[in-house]
Copies of this chain bind each other. A is one copy, B any other.
Amino acid sequence: MDETDTRILRSLQRDSSRPVAELAADFGLSASACHRRIKALERSGAIKGYSARLSRRKLGLSLLVFVEITLRSQERSVLDAFEAAVRAAPDILECHLTSGQADYTLRVVARDMDDYDRIHRDCLAALPNVTAMHTTFALRPIKFWQGYPVR
C-alpha cells in the first residue's frame, strides 16, 4: 500500500466507471500496471466490491432518522432477539452497539411519517425490554460523503 495505491483507491471510490487506462495516465502508469494493482487491492480485501450509488431523493426516502435505544436487560437472549429483528428490517440501514447512555444507535430511512410510524411499530416498539428510545430526525444534510478518507 504505497502512495499510488491510495490514489487508485481514492479514484475508484469516487468513480469506479472510468477506464483503467485513464487512471493509469493520471498516475503516470501503464494500463496493465494499474490494472494489476487494482486486482491486488481487490484480492487483499481493501476493495470489497463495486456498487451503484443511488439517489435517496429519487427513491422517495425523504426521512433519515437516528434512533438511540436502551434495553433493560443485557442478557444474551434479549440482545440476540433485538439484533435479529434489526437485521430483518430493510429500513434499518445500520445498527451499532454504542457507548454512553444508550445501548444501540440505529440509522433508519423512511418514505414519510406514515412509513416511519409503520417501521416504529413493527420493528422498534415491538421489541422487549426497551427502557428508552430517543429519536433524532435529520432535517437537512450539510455534508454527506459516502466512502472514507484514504491516506
Chain A residues in the interface with B (C-beta under 8 A): 9, 12-17, 44-56, 58-59, 61, 64, 66, 83, 86-87, 90-100, 102, 104-105, 109, 134-150
Contacts and interface: CB of A to CB of B under 8 A. Distances in A.
A80 B13 CA distance: 28
Nearest to A87: B143
A111 to B, nearest CB: 8
Given A66-B105, A97-B139, A47 B54 contact: yes
Contacts of A13: 51-52, 54
Contact of A54 (B15, B53, B109, B147): B147
9 contacts: A15-B50, A16-B16, A48-B54, A56-B148, A61-B148, A86-B142, A86-B143, A91-B149, A94-B145
Nearest to A14: B51
Contact of A98 (B53, B54, B136): B136
Nearest to A48: B53
A58 B87 contact: no
Interface centre among A59, A109, A150 (most CB of B within 10 A): A59
Contacts of A98: 66, 136-139
A128 B13 CA distance: 33
